[in-house]
Structure 1
Amino acid sequence: MDATFWALVGLIIFTGIIVWVKVPGKLASALDARADGIRKELDEARRLREEAQSLLAEYQRKHREAEEEAEAIIAEAKREAELLTGQTEAALNDLIARRTKLAETKIAMAETQALAEVKARATDVAITAAEAILRDKVSGKVADKLMADSIKEVGSRIN
């Protein structure tokens, strides 16, 4: 019996022991368990990926909504600014018009008052001059009567 025969016998015994201890079944169940674990990990990874995609889509939607809301707020602020600018401009123009009218009224009143003062001063000067002339030229009762009549006439013309 040579060494090849004993190697064959050893191989058959080893194979028998492996089969008797059920190593192939244990090996198959270990491989099946590992395949199930890998399958579960793949399913979990797929679920997490889908959840991540869902969250990403939701955040992108929220981002778009926030941008649209920001654009709407900016547009509203621009409209309000334009409205306020128009209102302020109108109020300023109104204020300028009122102040201009008030100034023109004051100027007209000052002109009227100045004209009245000039007329009164001219009247006073005329009366004084007439009185001086009449005093020098006319005397007595006739002078008094003329003076009184002249003063009445000047007074009625002024009013």
Structure 2
Amino acid sequence: MAQLQTPEFWVAAGFLLLIAILAKPAWKAITTSLDDRADKIKASLDEAASLREEVQHLLADYQRKQREATREVDEMLANAQAEAERTAQEAAEALEESLKRREQLAMDKISQAEADAMQAVRNTAIDVAVAATQRILNEKLDDAAAAQLIDNAIAELPGKLH
């Protein structure tokens, strides 16, 4: 559930939604355009076949146009394939980079959590040691011994400050 609250998740979701919305009309336009082009070529071929006896020179012209159209379609397909491969490569690289960033972020969070846990353990150990020392001193130290310890600490203080 924590992943649903990250900006990266929502950016990725928005991007995927945008791609999904734009893909269908773009694909429909491309296929319609190619279908129209194929229909035009077919009509040209049918007309050339019916007028073959009367207009041999037009047949050659239409055949030339057909070869050009086929070459254009082949070029368009080759370009589309190259573009699709390039886009897929870029998407894979972007995904890999995103995963590396997320992994580093997770490692940083784990390191911080470990450091916080170690600090909490240290603080607890210090609190326990201080409480135990205080309890032991309260149980075993009488007023005369406490006064003697205070006097000794005051006497040592000038030497420890320099």
Check whether TM > 0.5: yes
Structure 2 residue 92 is matched with structure 1 residue 93: no
Gap change, CA 1:82 and 1:49, over 3 Å in 2: closer
> Which TM-score applies when normalising by structure 1?
0.57
- Output one character per residue of 1:68-96: Cα deviation in whole Å (capped at 9) or x when no partner: 00000000011101101110110011011
SS, match of residue 101 in structure 2: helix
Partner of 1:130: 133
> Which TM-score applies when normalising by structure 2?
0.56
Q: Could you list the runs of 4 or more consecutive aligned residues of structure 1 that deviate by over 3 angstroms after TM superposition?
A: 48-51, 141-146
In the TM superposition, what is the alpha-carbon distance from 1:122 to its structure 2 partner? 0.6
In the TM superposition, what is the alpha-carbon distance from 1:143 to its structure 2 partner? 3.5
Please give the alpha-carbon distance, in whole angstroms, between the structure 2 residues aligned to 1:125 and 1:90: 52
Gap change, CA 1:137 and 1:94, over 3 Å in 2: same
Please give the alpha-carbon distance, in whole angstroms, between the structure 1 residues aligned to 2:68 and 2:145: 106
- Output one character per residue of 1:54-80: Cα deviation in whole Å (capped at 9) or x when no partner: 111111111100000000000001110
Structure 2 residue 86 is matched with structure 1 residue 83: yes
Number of aligned residue pairs: give it: 100
Identity %: 42
Partner of 1:55: 58
Please give the alpha-carbon distance, in whole angstroms, between the structure 2 residues aligned to 1:141 and 1:93: 72
Pick from 101, 105, 109 the counterpart of residue 106 of structure 1. 109
Pairwise mapping of residues 7-156 of structure 1 onto structure 2 (< 5 A)? 52-140=55-143, 143=146
Please give the alpha-carbon distance, in whole angstroms, between the structure 1 residues aligned to 2:71 and 2:125: 79
Structure 2 gaps of 5+ residues are 1-50, 154-162
Please give the alpha-carbon distance, in whole angstroms, between the structure 1 residues aligned to 2:56 and 2:130: 108
Structure 1 gaps of 5+ residues are 1-47, 150-159
Partner of 1:32: none
Gap change, CA 1:127 and 1:49, over 3 Å in 2: closer
- Output one character per residue of 1:95-129: Cα deviation in whole Å (capped at 9) or x when no partner: 11111100000000000000000000110011111
